[in-house]
Amino acid sequence: MKLNTINAESGKGERLDVFITKQVQEISRTTVKKMISQGLVFVDGVVAKPSLLLEGTEHVSFTLLSTETTTNKIEPEKMSLKILYEDNHLIAINKNAGITVHPGAGQNSGTLVNGLLFHFNKLSDINGSFRPGIVHRLDKDTSGVILIAKNNGAHIHLSKQFEERVIKKKYFAITWGIFDKESGEIVSPIARSKKDPTSFIINDKGKDSKTSFSSKPLGQYTSEVSFFPLTGRTHQIRVHSASMGNPIFGDKKYGGGKNKSKGFMPEVSKKLNRILTSLGRHALHAETITFIHPREQKEITISAEIPKELLSVKNDLTKLHA
C-alpha cells in the first residue's frame, strides 16, 4: 500500500474527512472515516480524528483502503512479549527494536499489535481496529517500555496524561560526538519535511518541542546521553539530537549512519563501521516511564533494562581510541 501525502493549504477550516474526500474523488466519505479509524491517516505525522479542523499548514498523509484491506482484519500472531507490568487496566511491554508498533502503510503483520491480539482477549478500541490498546508509540528501531490500555477508561486517562505532559519519560541513547555541555535543554520547533514526508526537521513554523538532556563522553568519539522529552513530537529526540550536531549512533535517517564515520583516521573509521554493522539499529531506548495509575491514582515508574546489544556497543566505543 502506498502512502500518499498532500498539503492541506486548500482545506483551511475544513474537517479532515471532508478534505480528503474532496481531494480523492474515487473514495467515499465513509471509506475515509474507516481509513482514519484504522490508523491509516496522519496529520503532520500524528494519527488524527475525522472531525479535526485543518489550519491549512498541515501535511496530510494517508493510505488508500483496497478491497482486501477493507475486508481483512488484523490477525493475532504468536509473538514473544516481554511483559514488565500487567493488571486489569494496563500492560507495560519492553518492545524489541525492529518491531513496528501497529499496522499501517504496507504492513498488516509482524507488528506489536498482532502480538498483543494473540496474548490478550480485551484491549481498548478507541483508536480503531488497527490500533487496539495503543496509547502512544515508539519508532520501529527504538526499544523500550510502551504502555498498552486494556480498556477505554484506562486509555482515556493515560492519553490525557500524555496530552497534559504529566507522564515523564527517560531515554538512554548513544550519540555521535561529545556534547558541548553536560546538561541542558533543546527548544526547537519540529515540522514535517516537505522533501521527505517520512522525515522531520527543525522549522520555525513547526510545533513547539522541548527535550532536556544530561550527557557524558563515551570514549573519544561518542557520548552516552539521557534524554527527557518534555513534548511528544514524532522523531523528537532523534531530530533534536541531530540538530545539535550529535545524531543518534546508527540513525541513518538523521545522519547517524556510516557516513558519519568519514573523516576519522582509516583504522578508526573501520572500527566505527564494524560497530555500526554489529548494532544494526539506532542506539535509542525508552528506559523508564512514570505515570499516574488510571484506577489507583498513584504514581508508578516502570523500567526496561538496556538491551545487551546497546551495552556491548557502549563497551566497544568506550575502549575505542585513535
Residues forming the active site: 139
Instruction: From 115, 94, 80, 93, select the one nearest 306 (Cα to Cα).
Output: 94
Q: Beta strand 284-292 with 83-86: parallel, antiparallel or unpaired?
A: unpaired
Q: How far apart are alpha carbons 148 and 150 in whole angstroms?
A: 7
Q: Tell me if 317 sits within 8 A of 309, measured CB to CB.
A: no
Q: Beta strand 143-149 with 284-292: parallel, antiparallel or unpaired?
A: parallel
**Count of residues for the chain?**
322
Beta-bridge partners for 168: 290
Q: How far apart are alpha carbons 241 and 268 in whole angstroms?
A: 23
**Collapsed DSSP state (helix, strand, coil) of residue 92:** strand
Q: How far apart are alpha carbons 303 and 205 in whole angstroms?
A: 35
Place of cell 558519519: 260
Q: Which three cell numbers stand for residue 47?
A: 494519527
Q: Beta strand 284-292 with 90-95: parallel, antiparallel or unpaired?
A: unpaired
Determine the number of helices (DSSP H) and then strands (DSSP E) in the chain.
8, 15
**Alpha helices for the chain (secondary structure H):** 16-23, 29-37, 67-71, 112-119, 152-163, 236-243, 266-279, 308-318
Phi/psi at 266 (5° precision): -50, -40
